[in-house]
Chains A and B, each alone.
Chain A
Amino acid sequence: MVDYVSALSIDFNLIWPEIALLIGASVILLGSISKSFRPVIPAVALISCIVAMLLASQQWGHQGSGFADMVTCDNFGVMFKQIFLIASIVTLFLGFRYLKVKGLNRPEYYALILFSTAGMMVMANTADLVVMFLGLEIMSLPLYVLAGFNRRSLESSEAGIKYFLMGAFATAFLLMGIAFIYGAAETTNLRRIVTNFSYIAYDYNSTAIYFYSGIALTLIGFGFKIAAVPFHSWVPDVYQGAPTPVTAFFSVAPKAAGFAVMLRIFVFGLSGVELLTTAFWVLAVLTMSVGNILALRQDNVKRMLAYSSISHAGYILVAMTVGGADAVSSAIFYLVAYTMFNLGAFAVVTVMETRSGCRSEFSELTGLSKVHPYLAAILALFMFALSGFPPTAGFLGKFYIFSAAVHKGFIWLAVIGVMNSFVSVYYYLRVIKTAYFDEVKGKVTPVVLSPTVIIALIITALGTLGLGFFPQQLLEFSQAAIFGMP
């Protein structure tokens, strides 16, 4: 009898974090059947996230692959796993009271978040296109459901359907792209694709055409996931319609997962394709500019944050255009920082939305500074971070990215990026202005700050400030993350 365990190089150490999440999610789903188990469900979700986090940190520094080369474990993946887990932990905290207030307190929320996070971790943990696709699907399917989680609300259902249709459409592109790449390179393993690359790409016959169209289609597929312009049209409606904690999750985690895969494929793997640099240049400029300009005109905070998240994807695309160790480590730094302050901003919106009849319009922010000075201050902090003021993490993130761009000679790109940051200041500061200086009409309904939300706010605020004051630690981590990447 053949020893299949070693023949297939099955090594569970590579996938324990994912397994922990999946077990947690399954326990939640099965436990949801009994009424008496329901109160502990959030705790189960939280514990499995923390366990996954610990298990993932155990993987730091280990380089290995297994499962017939389908799973690759490296620092890069571990770094991203931590980002996803932080995002999902904060989302779990955010959801706790919000769901109760909105009458959505169903255990599936927690399970779906965990499933989706597990999918992202699969995406970050592999160098094989098929497994990446698998991870993408595990990530996306729960997200479609989560977007339409408030199924009694028209907007949420619309968000769910829209996200599902666009996502399925993008998935088709992605799959077609993978098929083309497979046809040209005769493998789906990224490392072997890179090895074969030299004679595919310069071989100006049909193989190269298939290869390039494969890359283009893959780029479109992931473009949808990270909401790069011109594949962004679903973002505002979905972000506005979905329940706010879910929106917070959307704006951070799937984006980070998309970037993890894109960095692996396009920046590390196919760094030799010159066309890609041009493509990313155009994408980055479009994404930054369109996102920022459209955000100027929004009257709804959630929609504004949706467009702002598009523009932030643009900044990270700048780093991808530049390429090289500095730019990539700054992209990772930016992703971590962005996770912190964007989640924080959405956390404040979530808190605001727990008031009845609140639709997170700008006008509803008036008088916040009088009633809740601390909340207003923390909101201001996140807005400053989003617009990139020192001493927040937002400033350093942008600074690292643009300085990397300048070093590599992408002066114009940096200039456009900085100009975009200036534009964005307008609408971020508008939030602060509304909260602090606008006249209060009528009575301001106070919000209830539950302990879980306070924890989420503290985590994100500390992250935003801490990374701003002490960036060195994270920078070292992100440099270590890309150390040894091909």
Chain B
Amino acid sequence: MARRRDVSTRLTRRNFLALAAAGAAAGTHHLAFPAVVRAQEPIRIGQLIPFTGFLGAIGEYGKQGATLAVEELNEKGGVLGRKIELITEDEANPGVAVQKARKLIEKDRVVAIEGLVSSASCLAVGDEVQRAKILMINAGANSDEIRSKRCHRYVFSTEGCNTQYVSAIGNWLIRERKISRWYFLTSDYAFGHDLLRVARNLLMANKGTEVGSDLAPTGTTDFSQYITKIKAAKPDLVFHNLAGADVTNFLKQYAEAGMTLEVAGGVIDSAYAWPVGESLRGHFPIIWWHELATPGSHAWAARYVKRWGRPPDNQAYGDYVAVHAIAQAVDRAKSTDSAKLVQALEGHTLTAAMDGLKGRPLTFRAWDHQLLQPMYVVGAKDKSKWKDKWDIFEIVSEVPPRGESLEAIAIPKAESQCQLEPLA
């Protein structure tokens, strides 16, 4: 209160005139002193990420990752001499997410939006930013659709797509000869359906057998019925296509029911694997894991622990990369105009300022805007080998291996239905 009063009393006639003059300069002499006037205004980045519902825990990590990226950038003086400001909103559900995106674009005047976790929300917001012609970076939604049938000129993905994830785990399963009699358990929404389709293709292409498949509503807390069905169907492997808190519940109850059948999945979020604890079993593909042995990852994980008191999960990583990608686009375009940012990112390879932390050059494909990158297959570690409670996974495979093209696990151009719109 005191500070606010202070400002108002200091608003003397002279200050007022100076402000008015600056305002007039901003309005009429835009071309004369653009750098001077704009330097006052931060570059705003909007973040849409879930804080509620069955994906809520991921949002907390995502916000911390993005915040850390903004702090790093501002310590180095921001971008184009301007500070960066992050405005975070709860993506909640597709309807709310679109409303929040409008608010970020129209009221907060953000330069770009990043985040999104639910594929359903990401698809809805993607349509919206394309209409508004504002850059969006999808840092957390996996549906292939976002990069294929419903791709957009203004939408980029730093998050991997289901094809990349399933190719990674598939590569490992084939190598370990685990393509056999599978049972699928799938989250009943856009992401799960898409993942099921990709995983089925993998199984069929390698001459495996599907012995059963169930769709479980999102937010399911009791998986005992599904587990009983799995037990009765006697598969060799259970392949889950679940998301969020459902993964925790399923894996916990699976162990609790005394099930020892092999588990694999098309996705895992470490934020939802940690709470499973010692009963965790199985092998999963992940975009990034904090024990990844690259110098960039080590340094960043250490900074994150120092700032937030716990290791980063894969979503913290995702939003961290997305914010840096936006900053690199602004830097490269020397502009905050979304159309120019889009052009700057098409074919852009992440620079040394933040190279994606994977020890390999990562590039946005120009024709579908997917960031090409390796995935990691992680296996649950026995509790006796943990060094702390976060140390639940070990990386068993990097796919594609070093030296091979990152295109190997991405959606092939011939199979993609992506048709990017013209820029204007």
Q: Decide whether A and B assemble into one complex.
A: no
Residues of B in contact with A (beta carbons under 8 Å apart): none
